């Protein structure tokens, strides 16, 4: 289902033109207009889901196989040295467009880009507590 006034619904379904590099029954993959690196693409489902939580499991299962195809193409055609997959859920996590999308960011030696976090230094007790919280 499409959502009114959702820009990625319109892009994914071809109502708004985009620099499309791949399309199949479920997804459109487009170039990001504000790329972190050359070839930065967004894999967008044609069906609307706000985020990963809302994405139907069957569609979620199609995401990585599609991404794998694009990843191979990026390596072959762009000769990138690496690839980051980034997927933001929620404003707090940096999501700005509220339609699920997977960032595919080819990386090049010395591209000067940073896709990083500050590593924490949890105690053994804290790690144990988190593990118990999540594993139960």
Please list the active-site residues.
Answer: 101
Decide if 55 contacts 49 (C-beta within 8 A): yes
- Residues 94-123 within binding reach of Zn ion (CB under 5 A): 99
Phi-psi region of 12 (alpha: psi -120 to 50; beta: other; left: phi over 0): alpha
Structure tokens that stand for 51 in this block: 């985020």
Cβ closest to ligand 5GP, residue 52 vs residue 121? 52
Taking the complex as a whole, how short is the minimal distance between the CB of residue 88 and ligand 5GP, in angstroms?
4
- Residue 48 as a binder of Zn ion (CB under 5 A): the answer is yes
Residue 71's closest CA among 81, 61, 62, 59?
81
CB neighbours of residue 7 within 10 Å: 12
Taking the complex as a whole, how short is the minimal distance between the CB of residue 96 and Zn ion, in angstroms?
13
Residues 4-33, one symbol each (x = binds Zn ion by CB under 5 A, - = not), give --x-xx------------------------
- Residues 18-47 within binding reach of ligand 5GP (CB under 6 A): 18, 30-34, 42
């Amino acid at each position: 289902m499409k959502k009114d006034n959702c820009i990625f619904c319109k892009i994914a379904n071809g109502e708004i033109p985009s620099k499309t590099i791949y399309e199949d029954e479920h997804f459109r993959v487009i170039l990001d207009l504000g790329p972190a690196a050359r070839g930065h693409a967004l894999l967008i489902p044609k069906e609307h889901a706000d985020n990963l939580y809302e994405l139907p499991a069957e569609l979620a299962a199609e995401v990585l196989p599609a991404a794998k195809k694009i990843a191979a193409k990026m390596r072959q055609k762009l000769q990138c040295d690496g690839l980051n997959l980034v997927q933001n859920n929620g404003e707090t996590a940096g999501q700005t467009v509220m339609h699920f999308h997977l960032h595919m960011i080819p990386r090049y030696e010395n591209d000067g880009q940073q896709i990083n976090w500050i590593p924490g230094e949890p105690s053994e007790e804290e790690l144990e507590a988190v593990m118990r919280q999540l594993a139960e």
